[in-house]
Amino acid sequence: MRVYDCSTARIASVVRNYEGVRRKHAIGEMVRAIRIDAPEVIASFGEDAAVIEHGDEVLLLAADGIWSRLMEADPYWAGYCSVLVNIHDIAAMGGKPLAMVDVLSISDPSIQKEVLAGMHDASLQFGVPIVGGHLHPDTPYSVIDVAILGIAPRDAVIYSHTARDGDAIMIAIDLDGRVHPSCALNWDSVTMKSADEVRAQVRLMQELGGAHLVTAGKDISNPGMIGTLGMLLEMSGKGAVVELERLPRPDLAANYMTFEQWIRIYPGMGFVFTVPEENTGEIRSRFAGVGMSAAVVGSVDSSRKLQIVYAGEGSSVFDFYKNGIMRLFSDDGS
């Protein structure tokens, strides 16, 4: 049975031209305009969170904003996601999320009420408090941005730039969910779960970092699973071949979803890793223990190209020699 009914060239184009990917292109130019060296900063742009010296531990600092179209479609879900995406960023680094602050700009008091309710519920569910922020009342638009602080042991951080040739590529997703009714490109596997369940999934990421079971990782964000893998490979100066039939996925037909939709979707809990081959079985087992499906989907190489294959057919999605996703580096990779 075929996973999908179009060519790999079509899938490659869908990923490459997806707005969630194209919106990342401006990052490199912005970084070059504002970046300065700081001795206390171990890692910053291109990682899911900045890594900052803090004795035997490190501080993890990240921020994320929510697309205005989601605020307009479902303010409650936008508020919930503003917390969720930031917790993802700290979890992806192998860290423990500590606290958040927000900047809320509101044009409609009814939107404000719903956004705050979503933020409160997510904060309570994940056990990460919102401790301050800033309010812009009476603006001509409604936007929510959140920043988060986390902490991790210095030697347990999971970076994006440390993938190695020959590593297996694993994708882990909680498939027990639904397409969110307000956003066809959001897979909600969290709102129906208990606090214990979602917190166990976040803690597992800390355990993976502490056990040194993975070489690199990122949370699956707006570019989708293949786009997020591309960002990791770009940071690491690597390439990969991904077998599409291996991608973890729910019953697409039962969820009224196409494969093209699934590969662009933002999951309620999902991560991409590079892993030494000998660790893949243990990682699969650990994710199964917290209700997530983890699968080996390909391998890392030195090509600096991300290629997808299916049923004997292959296509290039990204050629990092020509153009990256975030475009943080020059053509020679420096």
**What distance in Å separates the CA atoms of residue 76 and residue 66, rounded to the nearest whole number?**
12
CB 148 within 8 A of CB 59: no
* The predicted structure's pLDDT at residue 5: 67
The widest CA-to-CA distance across the chain, in whole angstroms, is: 57
Contacts (Cβ under 8 Å, ≥6 apart) of 119 = 79, 80, 82, 83, 102, 130, 144, 146
pLDDT tens per residue, range 97-143: 999 999 999 888 889 999 999 999 999 999 999 999 999 988 888 89
Percentage of residues in the chain having pLDDT higher than 70: 97
User: Among 1-5, 91-95, 154-158, 241-245, which stretch is predicted with the lowest mean pLDDT?
Assistant: 1-5
List every span in the chain annotated with CATH 3.90.650.10.
8-25+159-319
2: its two tokens: 């075929």
CB 96 within 8 A of CB 150: yes
223: its two tokens: 């570019």
Mean pLDDT of 271-290: 98
* The predicted structure's pLDDT at residue 33: 86
CA 195 to chain centroid: 20
pLDDT tens per residue, range 5-34: 679 999 999 999 988 898 888 888 888 888
**DSSP label of 167:** P
**Statement: residue 151 has pLDDT above 90:** yes
pLDDT tens per residue, range 292-320: 999 999 999 999 999 999 988 999 999 99
pLDDT tens per residue, range 46-67: 999 999 999 989 999 999 998 7
List every span in the chain annotated with CATH 3.30.1330.10.
48-154
Average per-residue pLDDT for the chain: 94
Mean pLDDT of 214-235: 96
**Statement: residue 255 has pLDDT above 50:** yes
* The predicted structure's pLDDT at residue 330: 56
Q: Which CATH number fits domain 48-154: 3.30.1330.10, 3.30.365.10, 1.20.120.1750, 3.20.20.70?
A: 3.30.1330.10
Contacts (Cβ under 8 Å, ≥6 apart) of 17 = none
Q: What are the helix and strand counts (H, E) for the chain? A: 10, 16
Contacts (Cβ under 8 Å, ≥6 apart) of 143 = 65, 66, 68, 71, 103, 104, 105
The superfamily in CATH containing domain 8-25+159-319 is PurM-like C-terminal domain (3.90.650.10)
